[in-house]
Structure 1
Amino acid sequence: MFTTRPELLGTFGMVASTHWLASAVGMRTLEAGGNAFDAAAAAGFTLSVVEPHLNGPGGDAPIIGHRASDAHTFVLCGQGSAPALATIDAYRDLGLDLVPGTGHLAAVVPGAFGAWLDLLARYGTLPLADVLGPAIGYARDGYPLVRAASRTIATVAEMFAEHWPTSAEVYLPHGQVPAPGTRFTNPVLADTFERLLVAGGTREEQIEAARRAFYEGFVAEAVDAFQTSVAVRDSSGRRHTGLLRAADLAAWRATEEPTTSLRFAGRTIHKTGAWGQGPVLLQQLAMLDALDVAAMVRSNDTLALVHTVVEVAKLAFADREAWYGDVPDVPLEALLSPAYAAARAALVGPEASEGLLPGSPEGRVPRMSASLWGSRESADAGVGEPTVSPLGLSPGDTCHVDVVDRWGNRVSATPSGGWLQSSPVVPGLGFALPTRAQMFWLEPGLPNSLAPGKRPRTTLSPAMLLDDDGSGVAFGTPGGDQQDQWTVPFLLRHLVGGAGLQAAIDAPMWHSSHVPGSFYPRTHTPRGLVAESRLGTDVLDGLSRRGHAVETTGPWELGRLSAAGVRSDGMLVAAANARGMQGYAVGR
């Protein structure tokens, strides 16, 4: 079967990510004697420099890791929490019914940098200077600016010039939008990274010193000063100061947590807890299992398969809206039970369904936002994470990296947030803050209602697939609400259809835009189904006849998956997405 690039095989190590430079840095780290955890952090730091429109050191980064020596699989939560001052009343008093998608009021504690440090402290082997060094080099000496970054800067250039001067200083050199391929530098960010490196002491002491400097030192002080003293324009069309304070950063730590898992096709799939949307993938797989999806895959009935997968997604994401959040009483065991999955799967009919239909696990009554299912429709159903500027829609997105080393350690990480187009650069730091508070509801009593110290229900969703013999892959994709949709056909093709990783990534993709958007202004497309044209006219027309509002994209536009892991014969394997012409896998 033809694939866009070879599926890599080797014995030493593999790195796959959404940017070729990050993949190269990760492999360099493995070659220098580091393990998968060192390599993932090095790649993650590099992504925060070379894809500033997709993530930053002040963003968010959930991580799933697997330590091969004792089969320990874990989640590191790099999702920052809401400020202590961030109450529903605080936003209501400003006349807001949604948290703005940009600017100071959307800020939560930056979690990405702390998560990478925590991964290094717990599981890494190399000094922080070695791991952070390549990112410093790219920030100081420059890197080729990708076309998407240049295009993103162009969409917000006027806003930068008029309203966000600190961002203009970094991203509009000489007052101009940098052209694609330009050697772009961010020396202020390089200075920040270098200030975080403290000489002397053990490796662990150096990492802790960097954490303190970021969360309790000069970084926290700069964030506090900017949020309190400078009002900036946001997507409400007005200027606001912020609610994030140095004390919020000092109180936050990355945490290690158990994964949430499900058996499917004889393997175990690991995701985050319900403070993220990760379990929604597991719910979909449980329902598809109840519907005998394997028979659909084996029969090559693409029309039935796509229809069924989309209808199952609608049910699972309705449950996400009703039940998921950073609260202690999410009924995850019931939501993932075979009996509940079978009952939900029975709702799938031959026609596209309307509305939102959350279930009632354990007999509990679901509750969703009163404004969730309004008349708003998405302006661009193919956008992964739409962050909105005062001048219009400016698509944001996410990064992903997967690593496996020669010992079988694996990492899947999905860094995002701190987008250049969503929050102004903090003076003297060279990076922006995360804007994920926009995912909270300003209505009390919901699982994802805003509360001080609470994590927003993130869409960031790394994943780990493991077999009982220790084989399996780290995998994931950018894409906001689509992350846990695009991985479904990938897994079905790979686990049920027997396709290799690269073939499963390259095959045509689709997703439902009927599911509610998690990002401001919380749009949706009723019965919407977005599909690559490669699905074919017969399938697309058949879906329309079943009542789906089909939007056809170009042949290579949906999904940006990558994967890296261990085959059952012990060989290492990796694959990466060709869409967007940035992602790459390397290894030997």
Structure 2
Amino acid sequence: MFTTRPEITGTFGVASSTHWLASQTAMGVLERGGNAFDAAVAAGFVLQVVEPHLNGPGGEVPILFWSERERRMQALRGQGSAPQLATPEAFRSLGFEQVPGIGLLPATVPAAFPTWLTLLREQGTWELADVLAPAIGYARDGFPMLPRAVQAILAVQELFKTHWPSSAAVWLPDGRVPAPGALHRLPELAATYERIVATAQREGSGRTGVIDAAIRCWQQGFVAREIDSYYRQHAVRDTSGDNHAGLLRYEDMAQWQVEAEAPLTGSFGRYTVAKCGFWSQGPLFLQQLGMLRHADLAAHAPPTAGFVHRIAEAAKLALADRLAWYGVAPGADRAAQQALLSDEYLRQRWSQVDLQRASNELRPGSPGGRAAQLADLAVAARTLKEADTRFGVGEPTFANLPPVAEWADCEIFVGDTCHVDVIDRHGNMVAATPSGGWLSSSPVVPGLGFAINTRLQMTWLDAGLPNTVTPRVAPCTTLSPTLALRDGEPYMAFGTPGGDQQDQWSVAFFLRHAVHGMDLQEAIDAPAWHVKHAPSSFWPRQTVLNTLQLESRFAPQEIDQLRALGHVVQVGEPWSEGRLCAASRSTDAQGRRILRAGANPRGMQGYAVGR
């Protein structure tokens, strides 16, 4: 099969990410003696700088990793919790039926920094200053502005100029939108990280002591104090069309801690797939695998209607279960969640799939005989009647572009997320999906140079749900890295940006590789799709059912067959679905460890490197 680039193969180390500078940063760390954990952390901080429309220092990052020394997988819960003041009553008292999509109100504890540093402290070998040096360098000296980042700034420039002056100061130098490809500097962010390093080196002793001091500086020092001050004292424009102050406080950040846990796992033939828990949408992947064990996918080639239909129908059932059962609020039913992953339940769910007809119903299951309780899904229509959507919505905020001549022939991608995978020569593996803190979804905190995430928009105000907004409880995130074992041995790290699409694009990628033998790059490049068959996870939570979005590279007869099966098919651009990164490790016949990697060509910024 023709591919856009080779599958990278080596023995020393590989890295794949959604931006070439992050991938090369990771590889540079490996070349200088760092391990996969050092490399992933350094790359993660670079992504905050070079993909500011997709993640930032004020965001979050779920991480899955394999430690060869410990011979185990772990997940880090890099999703910050809701502020203590964030209750359904607090939002309703302001006239909201939903947590808004932009502004200060939807913030959760910014978790990316302490989560990355927890990985560095527990598994890495490098010093804090060395790991942060590449990100500081790009922020201080300049990095090339991606066309998509410029699109994001162009779309919200009036919001910045009129209502968010701190963001205008950072992203509209001299009052103008940056040019694509031009070097852009973030001196305030560089100064923040340099201050953290200097403070940590002064207050900490030894490598781990300095890292601990940096975490304290973020959560209990000047960073937390600046965020607290801004969120208390300033009211800014949000999707209501009014100005509101934030709920996030110093105490929320000071009390939050990164949690490590064993990942959830599911089996598929030779493979064991590991995902984050029900605080993420990771179980969505495992549910689909459990159903698709019974789908005879080997008889249906990847670019055919038979392959797409089976996976799409499994995704619909899993998405309905996500809506009803995922989350870690007091309304979550832990026994029901575990039942969702049982073979008995998933076999029964697969029996509900009609191989001759696409479902147009939202059908959550009843694990353990429990009845599903759903949120009020009509709230989106009511919210939109009163909302101000001029500056965009959701994940992340991205308004319609004005009719500017230089963008007339450009493919427009809405905002997204990032991903990075690293495997080193020792066999350590990392998969991480950083997101949040998008430049266009909340204003820059003055004095720090970055914005805070708006992840709380993913919760509901309805009482008693597993994902009801709850003080000091994290919302259920869409972020979803993946690890896989093969024949019991660590094998692959992979993932993708994409919000609700993450555990659709990644499932199809995995099956193209595991069932049909495509190499990593072939499986990434293959024509892709996703279904819309649930409320969006992002404001205003609109519900779309039975819609199948396909790349136009599918053969016309396969598209026609999918329509004949009852799918509402929307055909998009030829390279518009998926942002996958992947890396693998295996052993050849001589017992040598072979490392491989691939990266997404869509958007022309993701790259895999290695040797």
Inter-partner Cα distance in structure 1 for 2:269 and 2:602: 28
Q: Which residue of 1 aligns with 2:405?
A: none
Q: Is the 8 A contact 2:54 2:396 kept in 1?
A: no
Match of 1:220 in 2: 224
Which of these residues, 561, 568, 578, is aligned with residue 601 of structure 2? Answer: 578
Report the CA distance between 1:352 and its aligned residue: 1.6
Structure 1 letter corresponding to 2:322: R
Q: Could you say if the C-alpha distance between residues 404 and 389 of structure 1 is closer, same or farther in structure 2, counting changes exceeding 3 Å?
A: closer
Asked whether the 8 Å contact 2:445–2:451 carries over to 1, the reply is: yes
Q: Alpha carbons of 1:355 and 1:374: their partners in 2 closer, same or farther (altered >3 Å)? A: farther
Residues 1:414 and 2:414 aligned together = no
Unaligned runs of 5+ in 2: 385-391, 403-412
Q: Provide TM-score, normalisation by structure 2.
A: 0.93
Letter in 1 for 2:375: S
Residue correspondence of structure 1 range 334-345 to structure 2 within 5 A: 334-345=339-350
Partner SS state of residue 522, structure 2: helix
Match among 483, 490, 496 for residue 515 of structure 2: 496
* 1:546 to 2:551 alignment: no
Assess if the C-alpha contact under 8 Å between 1:260 and 1:271 holds in 2.
Answer: yes
Paired position in structure 2 for 1:125: 125
Q: Residues 386 and 536 of structure 1: is their aligned pair in 2 closer, same or farther, counting only changes over 3 Å?
A: farther
Q: Secondary structure at the match of 2:492?
A: strand
> Cα offset for 1:106?
0.5
Q: Secondary structure at the match of 1:526?
A: strand
Are the aligned partners of 1:396 and 1:421 in contact in 2 as well (CA < 8 Å)? no
More moved, 18-27 vs 465-474: 465-474
8 Å CA contact retained: 1:42, 1:135: yes
The answer to which of 543-552 and 402-411 deviates more is 543-552
1: CA distance, partners of 2:73 / 2:578: 26
- Structure 1: distance between partners of 2:488 and 2:350: 31
Q: 351, 359, 366: which one pairs with 1:353? A: 359
Instruction: Report the residue type matching 2:523 in the other structure.
Output: A
Q: Residues 289 and 372 from structure 1, CA distance in 2 versus in 1: closer, same or farther, beyond 3 angstroms? A: farther
Are the aligned partners of 1:387 and 1:422 in contact in 2 as well (CA < 8 Å)?
yes
CA distance in 2 between counterparts of 1:257 and 1:372 reads 36
Offset of residue 71 of structure 1:
2.0
Q: How does 1:363-382 map to 2 (within 5 A)?
A: 363-371=369-377
Which residue of the other structure, out of 314, 323, 326, is the alignment partner of 1:324? 326
- CA-CA distance at 1:245 after TM superposition: 0.2
Q: CA deviation at 1:387?
A: 3.3
1:432 aligns with 2:451: yes
Q: Tell me the TM-score normalised to structure 1 length.
A: 0.96
Question: Which residue identity lines up with residue 347 of structure 1 in the other structure?
Answer: Q
CA contact (8 A) 1:377 1:523 kept: no
CA–CA distance in structure 1, aligned partners of residues 548 and 142 of structure 2: 40
Corresponding position of 1:258: 262
Letter of the structure 2 residue corresponding to residue 266 of structure 1 = R
Question: 1:579 and 1:111 mapped to 2: Cα distance?
Answer: 28
Q: 1:313 aligns with which of 312, 315, 319?
A: 315
- Tell me, in whole angstroms, the C-alpha distance in 1 between the residues paired with 2:300 and 2:378: 33
2:530 counterpart of 1:474: no
**How far did 1:433 drift?**
0.2
Is contact 1:199–1:206 with CA below 8 Å preserved after alignment?
Answer: yes
> For 1:256, what is the secondary structure of its paired residue?
strand
Give the Cα separation in 2 of the matches to 1:375 and 1:99. Answer: 14
Question: Cα RMSD over matched residues?
Answer: 2.0
Q: 2:396 aligns with which of 367, 381, 387?
A: 387
Q: Partners in 2 of 1:295 and 1:337 — Cα distance?
A: 25
Cα deviation code 1:317-360 (max 9, x no counterpart): 10001000014633233111111111111111121212210111
What percent identity do the matched residue pairs reach?
53
For this pair of structures, how many residues does the alignment match? 583
Correspondence 1:454 to 2:458: no
**Distance across 2 between alignment mates of 1:267 and 1:106:** 38
Query: Is the 1:372–1:522 contact (alpha carbons within 8 Å) kept by the matching residues of 2?
Result: no
Farther off after superposition, 280-289 or 328-337: 328-337
78-87 or 320-329, larger mean C-alpha shift: 320-329
Q: Sort the Cα spacing of 1:4 and 1:392 in 2 relative to 1 into closer, same or farther, 3 A.
A: closer
Q: Offset at 1:377?
A: 13
Q: Deviations over 1:219-254 (max 9, x none)?
A: 001000110101000111110001000000000111
Note if contact 2:362-2:545 (Cα within 8 Å) is conserved in structure 1.
Answer: no
- Verify the 8 A CA contact 1:274 1:457 in the aligned structure 2: yes
Matching residue of 1:74: 74
Matches within 5 A, 1:234-245: 234-245=238-249
C-alpha separation between the residues in 2 aligned to 1:421 and 1:409?
35
